[in-house]
Structure 1
Amino acid sequence: MRITRDLGGGHAWTLHEGVLGDGRRVFVKRSSDASAVLDSEAAGLRWLAEPGAVAVPEVISADGGTLVLEWIDTAPATAGAAERFGRALAALHAAGADGFGAPWPGYIAELPMGNEPAPDWPSFYVSRRVLPFVRLARDRGALSAADVELAEEACDRVAEVAGPAEPPSRIHGDLWSGNLLWSADEVVLVDPAAHGGHRETDLAMLALFGAPHLNTILAAYREAAPLADGWRERVPLHQLHPLAVHVCLFGEAYRGSLLTAAGDVLAL
């Protein structure tokens, strides 16, 4: 493999364009300190690809701190691709998972994330997703003791307000707009934090920073797989985790959004 262009860096890795000996273009992530993160990403991409429901880049290799992926040519976002993606995402979720969690170590950005199984989604979400990052944000000085208490009160409400119990869905886990690559006719998913979780989590992540053609995606999804009543009101519940992660990564700039979401959960 020959590196042809540097694409900058992010978190604990550098990004590159490369070409294989057979002429194929590839996307390359390299890190001497985060090989476990890249191995987790590769495992998640392969797992998401298994049902054949959504498009993900082929994992060409993942070894020794270097992740090599199929190159994806991007194009402007279109309503047609959004509609197809909504149906594809519903099919991915319906493929299901063996339980809440995953059999590989989890990461989001460079932060470790517990994937150990839990008996139900509320306990998994609170113990593996929300509280660890709320407490890490406190330890990093971005949240006060009162902030943590508010988040913990919201966590105490999760089982009560989570809606009807559903079986574990096969979810991307970090489905914000930056992890959607729009190609000529489809959406390709990258940078997963994949695990067995709740399907509303992926939908809430799409809404968090405003995915293109979001209403079209949601309409197509709901036509293929109707959602339980109250799903819109539960969006802040599913955004507690990514907002807590953002406080850990970027500090107090996201503190207000996290506390607002916690207050919204308490109001459900």
Structure 2
Amino acid sequence: MTDNLFVKRPADPEAAAAEIQGLRWLAEAGKDFVVAVPPDIDGADGVVATVRLGRCAPTAGQARRAGELLAVMHRAGAEAFGSPPAPGGVTWRGRTFIGRLPQQCVPTADWGEFYVTQRVMPFAEQAHARGNLDTRGLAVVETACAAVAGADFSAVPVSRIHGDLWAGNLLFTPDGPKVIDPAAHGGHAETDLGMLALFGAPFFNDIIDGYRSVTPLDPDWADFTALHQLHPLAVHATTHGPGYAGELVEAARRTLAVIG
């Protein structure tokens, strides 16, 4: 390893290869937007090595550019909702992760079914099992998920999404905005936007303006932001304790208000 590489070793060795596959798949849709992985790195040794990035202060111009590049990446598409990364057309067959936690990536025709069964409920149930989400809160999440599973998302295109796009995974560098640490899969484009909104990306409105310059958003898209925040909030309720349980339940209630 050389000084120009950033190196990390995930707790689960398989997560290294999964992350590299995700980075390479996203880079096929926008190499200028994704941190580069040297060609000889495959993660088989449990190590992730990426080109070290410089940092600079966020600006409205870089945020707008990030929105443009994110929209281009989304438009590259994927095989199905829940499809795992497939760089070079070769589908990743190993486990997939968000942070340290494994999560499913099973191709599914319906986005609502995928989102409920592979993203929200597995982590809500883990949060409940750990004592971080009480039974009454879990019931609210279950009700919201039933509404999502029964809703019509047939018009939603399959997008190539980052999948863990909180503010810390969008870096502002002298070479432009870059994304790192994906949980890449075929999903709903607004899921990435919802996570950026949840964890306070700088110049968020400029990101949205840049995004809209490439891909229009429905006039009421922001009404559904809470729906797309159910997954990251359920993950955080699992990993970070009961402090996130209230936010998860409130997001479920807001979801029911627009879908239920």
TM-score normalised by the chain length of structure 1:
0.88
- Distance of aligned partners of 1:215 and 1:266 in 2 relative to their CA distance in 1, 3 Å threshold: same
Q: State the SS of the aligned residue for 1:182.
A: strand
Q: 2:223 pairs with 233, 239, 248, which one?
A: 233
Q: Is the 8 A contact 1:30 1:65 kept in 2?
A: yes
Instruction: List alignment gaps of at least 5 residues for structure 1.
Output: 2-17, 20-24
How many percent of aligned residue pairs carry the same amino acid?
A: 46
> What's the CA shift string for 1:61-88, capped at 9, x where partnerless?
1231111111111111111111111111
State the shift of 1:163 in Å: 5.6
Higher helix share: 2
Q: State the SS of the aligned residue for 2:67.
A: helix
Q: Which residue pairs with 2:159 in the alignment? A: 169
State the shift of 1:159 in Å: 4.2
Q: State the SS of the aligned residue for 2:54.
A: coil
RMSD: 1.5
Aligned length: 246
Instruction: List alignment gaps of at least 5 residues for structure 2.
Output: 85-90
Q: Is the 8 A contact 2:14 2:44 kept in 1?
A: no
Q: Where does 1:112-261 land on structure 2 (aligned, <5 Å)?
A: 112-159=102-149, 165-261=155-251
Higher strand share: 1
Q: State the SS of the aligned residue for 1:200.
A: helix
Q: Which residue pairs with 2:87 in the alignment? A: none
Q: State the SS of the aligned residue for 2:105.
A: coil
Higher relative contact order (CA 8 A, sep 6+): 2
Question: Distance between the aligned counterparts of 2:126 and 2:225, measured in 1?
Answer: 23
Question: Which structure 1 residue ranges, 4+ long, deviate > 4 Å from structure 2?
Answer: 159-164
TM-score normalised by the chain length of structure 2:
0.90
Q: Is the 8 A contact 1:45 1:192 kept in 2?
A: yes
**1:89 equivalent in alignment to 2:70:** yes
Q: Which residue pairs with 1:63 in the alignment? A: 44
State the shift of 1:173 in Å: 0.4
Q: Which residue pairs with 2:20 in the alignment? A: 42
Question: Distance between the aligned counterparts of 1:67 and 1:36, measured in 2?
Answer: 10
Q: Which residue pairs with 2:8 in the alignment? A: 29
> What's the CA shift string for 1:37-80, capped at 9, x where partnerless?
11111111000001236521222212311111111111111111
State the shift of 1:185 in Å: 4.4
Q: Is the 8 A contact 2:110 2:154 kept in 1?
A: no
State the shift of 1:223 in Å: 2.1
